[in-house]
Structure 1
Amino acid sequence: MQNNDAIEVNLVLNSPLKTIWDAITKPEIMAKWYFKVQGFELKQRCEFYFYEPNGENFKHVCKILEIDPMRRLRHTWTYPEISKGVSIVSWDLFKEGSYTRIRLRHQGVENFKDGSDALAVESFEAGWEEIVKKSLPDYLKSTLFDH
């Protein structure tokens, strides 16, 4: 799971690249499987935030660092109210025939040691596993029946 001080989760899905790109870049879709993000626009340096719907309700503040359409979204991930730490989340998408491979990398979670115990590396590992390997595929399956 942890690779060169980064959490990494990989998954191959039988979904078009555009469908997955939209799922990670359109707030109205993100709200269905990820988080209800506020202020998100797919623009360089756009700052957005969200709260987790359950668990410790810390404000997550993120800033977009890189957009490579249909390939990569990279942004900071911080908790300014409880930690001075900064981490980086990268969503990388790879077309493999009719499938799409997703690689989620979260670097720098160890920078949150000055924050809550809820920000332990193990919590991030479990959270990303749940989000990438359960929430996203469940959402994508549900959209197959919407047509």
Structure 2
Amino acid sequence: MTPGDDRTRTLTIEREFAHPPERVWRALTQSELLAEWIMPNDFRAETGARFAMDAEWGRVEGEVLEVEPQRRLRYTWNGPELRSEVEWTLEPAAEGTRLTLEQTGFRPQDRQAYYGARAGWPRFLKALDALLERIG
């Protein structure tokens, strides 16, 4: 089964940030900024780059699949018992940036991971908003 398969679930979250796409992009792609709002990591925004992110609950490993600066970022998001993809889409909005997160590939047996992502991503996005305020 692959991400996007009709037997999988997708989590989609949209948020508007009162910050320009350039600033949001930096926070999504610069390792030191990612570490402040999501997890310590060795991320590089280069197609084909492999990375790891570490949290108390485990490690996420991934590979960058697509990079469209200030528009779109897509990578695999593979954690304990989960194989998925995360895609970020940035669109200019009247007040700043509309950011859409889509995580695909939750299989029926990934129920705990799906509900964990539903609870976790909003907390991460709140931390992202606080970071965006600080980095100016």
**Higher strand proportion:** 2
Asked whether the equivalents of residues 76 and 86 of structure 1 are also in contact (C-alpha less than 8 Å), the reply is yes
Aligned length: 129
**2 CA distance for matches of 1:68 and 1:15?**
18
Aligned to 1:11: 15
Shift of 1:101: 0.3
**How many angstroms does 1:109 deviate by?**
2.5
CA offsets 1:55-102 (integer angstroms, 9 cap, x no match): x2x1210100111111000000112xx43x420000110012341000
Of structures 1 and 2, the one scoring higher in RCO (CA 8 A, sep 6+) is 2
| Equivalent of 1:35 in 33, 39, 50 | 39
Question: Superposition RMSD on alpha carbons, in Å?
Answer: 1.9
Normalising to structure 2: TM-score of the pair? 0.85
CA distance in 2, matches of 1:28, 1:49: 13
Gaps of 5+ in 2: 1-7
Alignment of 1:1-147 (within 5 A): 5-38=9-42, 40-52=43-55, 54=56, 56=57, 58-79=58-79, 82-83=80-81, 85-110=82-107, 113=110, 119-132=112-125, 134-144=126-136
Q: What's the CA shift string for 1:42-61, capped at 9, x where partnerless? A: 21110000111x4x2x1210
Aligned to 2:107, the other structure's residue is in SS state helix
Percent sequence identity over aligned pairs:
26
Distance in 2, Cα, partners of 1:112 & 1:63: 23
What is the one-letter code of the residue matched to 1:6? T
TM-score (normalizing by structure 1) = 0.79
Structure 1: gaps spanning 5 or more residues: none
- What do residues 104-136 of structure 1 show as CA deviations (whole Å, max 9, x unaligned)? 0100133763xxx8x43111100011112x111
1:13-43 CA distances to partner (integer Å, 9 max, x unpaired)? 11011000000000011112121112x2221
Secondary structure at 1:127's aligned position in 2? helix
